[in-house]
Amino acid sequence: MTETTAEQTETFAPPEQFAADANVKADEYERAEADYLSFWAEQSRELVDWNEDFGEVLDWTNPPFAKWFVGGKLNVAFNCLDRHVIAGNGDRVAINFEGEPGDSRSFTYAQLLAEVSKTANTLTELGVKAGDRVAIYLPMIPEAIISMLACARLGAAHSVVFGGFSSDALRSRIIDAEARVVITADGSYRRTKPTSLKPAVDEALSHGDTPVEHVLVVKRTGQDIDWVDGRDQWWEQSVGQASDQHECEFFDSENPLFILYTSGTTGKPKGILHTTGGYLTQVLYSMKAVFDAKPETDVFWCTADVGWVTGHSYVTYGPLAAGMTQVVYEGTPDTPHQGRWWEIVEKYKVTTLYAAPTAIRTCMKWGEEVPGKYDLTSLRLLGSVGEPINPEAWRWYHRVIGGERCPIVDTWWQTETGAHMIAPLPGVLSTKPGSSQRPIPGISVDVVDDSGENPAGPEGGLLVIRRPWPSMLRGIWKDPERFKETYWSRFEDTYFAGDGARRDDDGDIWFLGRVDDVMNVSGHRLSTAEIESSLVAHPKVTEAAVVGAADETSGQAVVAFVIIANGVEDSPETAEELRQHVGKDIGPIAKPKKVHIVTDLPKTRSGKIMRRLLKDVAENREVGNTMTLADSSVMETIEKSVAKS
C-alpha cells in the first residue's frame, strides 16, 4: 500500500457543537434524492424572494437547453440588497473592504443598496437597458461588486474581465458580448505598485470595431490617464450625482445574469452563460449547506478575484444574497508582508475562509511561524477550490490555520456549474484530506468508464453529471454547437465535465486531474494529481506539475516540473531523489522519466497550473495560447531552466 492510499482512511469528524448547530443534517441527502425536483423547488421558495412564483420546476423538453423555475419572476439585486434592508438588517455590514495599501472602507446593506441604485441610475443614463451587456474590467474594489449588482438590477448581463488580462483579451470579450459600456478604473495596486488599467481599455477600443459607447472610470490610484471626451466619464462624478433611489423591475427566471469565460486551463476560454432563478437558488443553497452560513454571526471571506467564477458566486452573489458580512481584499497575500491574510483574519474576526490550494501551498512554504503570530481563533470553517488539494496541504490548512477545530470543505465545481457540486456537508460527514467526497444534496454525479455505461474501476474514470441542476450553464454565448459538442456529445443526455476521478471504498470522490492530462505510460493510466501530490509531500518540494510527454518506447513518459523549498540545492542529485521518491511512493511505473527543477510554474490568474504549456515544453514545441496566463514571462524562464538541465 502506498503512503497516499494509507492516508485516505484518515478522517476528521465534525466537532460536536458544529454538527449540532449545522444548518443541514444527514437526512437531507435522502430527502433530496426521493424527489430532486421537489427538493429544488422547496429550496428555491425558501431561499429566494420571488416576485412571481414559478410553475414548472424544470423544462427539459429540449436538452441540453434547460429552463428552471419556469415563469417565475425575480430580481437578483433585490435578493442581495433590498430584502435585507426591508427585513430590518440595513445596518448590518455587507462589505469590509481592505485595500492593498492599507486603506479600508465598509458598506452596510443600506449603504450598498444606495450605491447600487446610484450606479443603476447612471447606467440607465448611459443607455443600458434590460437585455444589454456591460463589460467590467476592474480590480478587486467594492465598485466591482457594485457594478455587477447594478447590471443585475437592470436586467443587463455583465461580462467581468480579469483586471490582469491584456487589452487583446478584453477586446475579444467586448466584441463577443457586444458590450455597450465598459466600467474600469485608472489603475489598481498590486505588490505595492500602481498598475494601470485604463490604457488597456483605450487600446482595446482604438480599433473602432466595438459597439462601446461609454467608459465609466473609477479613480483608484490617481495616476495620469488619457481621456476621450464624450466617451469617458468619471465614476465619482456620474455615480456621485445620481439619485440613490431606484425602483427595480422583476425579470424572468431565465433572464441572462452574466457571461463569464472559463479560466483557459485546457484551451481557448469558453464564454459561459448563466441566468438568474436557478443560479441564485443553487448558490444560496450552497451557502446554507456547504458554508453553513449564519448571517448574524459569520464573517465570510472568499479570497478569489471577481474575475473568475468563484468571485461571482462566493464574493458577489452568494454572501450578499445570504445577508452575510464579508471581507473583500484587493491585493496579494504577501503585501506588504507574508502575514497579510492572517492579519486580515484577525482584524475582521473572519469565521469562514475560502481559498485555493495554490495559495495554501504558498503559505506552507513561508512557514507556520507566519500565521502563528496572529489570532485565528475566530475561524470555524475552511474551504478549498480550484484544483485538487493534496492531502499534505489539507492537513497543514487544518492544523495550522484551522487549529484542528475547523472542518474543511473541498468544493469541486466549474464556471459551467455555477455553484458547488461536490463537497462534504461540514456538519454531517467526517472529512478526508484530499477528497471532495460527495455530490451535494439534489445533485447526481457518476464516475464512469470510457463507454459511459459502467461505473469506473478502482483506477478511476470520467466524471459525469447525470441530471440537470439549477445553476447549470445555459450555453456558450452565441455558440450552441460548441455547447453541445463540448459537454453533451460524449454521452447521451449526460454532462461530461472533462475531469478524471475515482471513488474509494466508501464511495468518496477523488479528483485525478483533467481528462486531457491523463497520462498513458506503457498502457497504464496515471493521474497528474496523484503524482503531483506525492511530489509535494516530499519535504524538499513546494510545488509540482506533471505532464505526459510523447515517448518512443512507453507511448508517454512522465515529466515533472518542480519548485524546490528554500535552501534545497538545485542539483541532479535532488532531481534523482525526487524520481526515486515517486517510484517508492506510488510505484515504478509512475517514476518520472525527467524531473526539471524550475523557479516558477505557468498558472492562470485563478491559480491553476496550465499543464498544456508544460507539455509543449516537454515535447519541444512552441508554447500555445498564453492569453490567460497570470505572468507571461514565466514560460521563458522555464524554457531556460529546462535547456540548462
Count CB atoms within 10 A of the CB of residue 451.
8
Residues annotated within the binding site for Mg(2+) are 536, 538, 541
79 vs 313 by CB, closer to ligand ATP: 313
Residues within window 261-320 making contact with Mg ion, judged by CB under 5 A: 262
Shortest gap between Cβ of 246 and ligand ATP (angstroms)? 32
Chain positions 267 to 286 lying near ligand ATP, rule: CB under 6 A, are: 267, 269
Among 415, 471, 528, 542, the residue binding ligand ATP under the rule CB under 6 A is: 415
Binding-site residues: 310, 386-388, 410-415, 499, 514, 522, 525, 536, 538, 541
Q: Binding residues for Mg ion, how many (CB under 5 A)?
A: 1
The smaller minimum CB distance to ligand ATP, of residues 265 and 281, is found at 265
What distance in Å separates the CA atoms of residue 434 and residue 447, rounded to the nearest whole number? 17
SS3 478: coil
Residue type, 557: A
Cell 490617464 -> residue: 225
Q: Which stretch binds ligand ATP (CB under 6 A): 41-49, 165-173, 175-183, 257-265?
A: 257-265
Feature table: binding site for CoA: 310, 522
What residues numbered 476-535 form the site for ligand ATP, per CB under 6 A?
497-499, 511, 514
The two beta strands, 352-355 and 381-385, are parallel
Cα(484)–Cα(487) distance, rounded to whole angstroms?
Answer: 6
> What are residue 234's DSSP bridge partners?
217
* Shortest separation between residue 631's beta carbon and ligand ATP, angstroms: 17
Q: Which three cell numbers stand for residue 378?
A: 475566530
Q: How far is the CB of 567 from ligand ATP (least distance, A)?
A: 31
**Which residue in 142, 307, 388, 427 binds ligand ATP (CB under 6 A)?**
388
Site string for Mg ion, 325-364 (x = CB under 5 A): ----------------------------------------
Query: Which residue lies nearer to Mg ion by CB, 261 or 342?
Result: 261
β-bridge pairing 73-74 and 93-98: unpaired
Cα(308)–Cα(324) distance, integer angstroms: 20
Q: Which of 552, 465, 547, 479 is nearest to 513 (CA)?
A: 547
Residue 179 binds ligand ATP (CB under 6 A): no
Chain CA centroid to CA 53, Å: 31
- Residues numbered 439 to 468 that lie near ligand ATP (CB under 6 A) are none
Residues making up the annotated binding site for ATP are 386-388, 410-415, 499, 514, 525
- Which range in 127-135, 318-326, 404-412, 579-587 contacts ligand ATP by CB under 6 A? 404-412
Binding span for ligand ATP by CB under 6 A among 16-24, 29-37, 383-391, 394-402: 383-391
CB 217 within 8 A of CB 231: no
**Contacts of residue 620, Cβ cutoff 8 Å, sequence gap at least 6:** none
In angstroms, the first-to-last Cα distance of the chain is: 33
Query: Is the CB of 392 or the CB of 410 nearer to ligand ATP?
Result: 410
Question: Which entry of Mg ion, ligand ATP, none binds 269, CB below 5 to 8 A by partner kind?
Answer: ligand ATP
The answer to the question of residue 51 lying near ligand ATP (CB under 6 A) is no
Q: Which residues contact 62 (CB under 8 A, 6 or more apart)?
A: none
Residues of this chain, 286-315, that bind ligand ATP according to CB under 6 A:
308-309
Q: Supply the Cα-derived Rg of the chain in whole angstroms.
A: 24
Contact 434, 423 (CB under 8 A): no
Backbone angles phi, psi at 557, to 5 degrees: -125, 145
Output the smallest distance, CB 124 to ligand ATP, in A: 32
The residue among 54 and 354 lying less far from ligand ATP, judged by its C-beta, is: 354
d(CA 220, CA 194): 9
534 binds, among ligand ATP, Mg ion, none (CB under 5 to 8 A by kind): none
Residues in the chain: 645
Strand 193-196 and strand 251-252: the pairing is unpaired
CB of 511 to Mg ion, least distance (A): 12
CB-based burial, 19-35: b 16+ in 10 Å, e otherwise:
beebbbeeebbeebeee
Query: Which of residues 80 and 509 has its CB atom nearest to ligand ATP in the complex?
Result: 509
CB of 413 to Mg ion, least distance (A): 11
39 binds ligand ATP (CB under 6 A): no
Q: 3-class DSSP state for residue 448?
A: strand
Give the interface with ligand ATP as residue ranges (CB under 6 A). 262-267, 269, 308-309, 385-388, 410-412, 414-415, 436, 497-499, 511, 514, 606, 608
